[in-house]
Amino acid sequence: MAKATSDLVAGFGITETVGEEPGPSWNVAPTDNVRIVTERHRHDIEPGRQLATAKWGLVPAWAKDPKIGSRMINARVETILEKPAFRKAALKHRALVPGEGYYEWQKTADGKIPTYLHAADDSLIAFAGLYEFWPDPTLPEDDPNKWLMSCTIITTTATDALGHIHDRTPLIVPPDLYDDWLAVETLERQDVQQLLDAMPEPVLVPRVVSGRVNSVRNNGPELIEPAEPPVQGTLLG
């Protein structure tokens, strides 16, 4: 995500921004901080959308160790209403995770091909996400770092158009469902299931990119540029 906070505020109708801005990144890795959009839950303030910063990798409130988040970067749409790590968040803590695209690696006989998937018009994408707050037992109640905010991205079965790249894809929320997805009053399991069922199949454009994206140490706008074709007469290896 390389968009500025001002772009996210305008694109998602944000009324409040909290948390430190993660800064632009073209190679976000698990456990990195990312921006998420939520609906404010507090009753003493006006309702509205909040832009917050969360660690990518959900840490349930009951977790003994926050390191569990590294295994919770994704949540399968088929089981989020059943698994203990996600079912509470699915009812009470739904979020939008803004992005411009994501990487996937297509398996071929010659190895894995890094592919960048994005909207045809390069517009912002809203991945369906969940978030939670984890209380650090080593810190006092009044410590500003007492509560860790973390998130996960929901995945679904890839469509035929993208299935040849990978069998899973992030669930994408269209703008006309933002309000429904974020609604804090939607707390019943059957209502959330109806929301999930209403999500359309994602329509994204694949672009083969450089293998430099394979290392999180590489980061820059060149990572999402089309891969340069090999020079004729050279050997690949």
Q: What is the pLDDT of residues 80-117, one digit of tens each?
A: 999 999 999 999 999 999 999 999 998 888 888 999 99
45 CB-near residues (< 8 Å, 6+ apart): none
DSSP, residue by residue, 77-138: TTTTTTSTTTHHHHHH-EEEEEESEEEEEEEETTEEEEEEEE-TT---EEEEEEEEEEE-TT
Taken in order of first residue, the domains within the chain and their CATH numbers are: 5-101+123-203 (3.90.1680.10)
Closest by CA to 131, choosing from 186, 91, 188, is: 91
Q: pLDDT value at position 67?
A: 95
Residues recorded for the chain: 237
Overall average pLDDT of the 110-132 stretch? 93
pLDDT in tens, 58-72: 999 999 999 999 999
pLDDT in tens, 132-168: 999 999 999 999 899 999 999 999 988 766 777 888 8
Q: pLDDT value at position 231?
A: 42
CA distance 223 to 234: 23
Beta strands in 136-230, from DSSP E residues, in sequence order: 147-157, 168-170, 205-208
- Let me know: does 154 contact 74? Beta carbons within 8 Å: yes
Q: pLDDT value at position 236?
A: 41
pLDDT in tens, 160-209: 667 778 888 999 999 999 999 999 888 899 999 999 999 998 889 999 99
Is the pTM higher than 0.85? yes
CA distance 53 to 114: 27
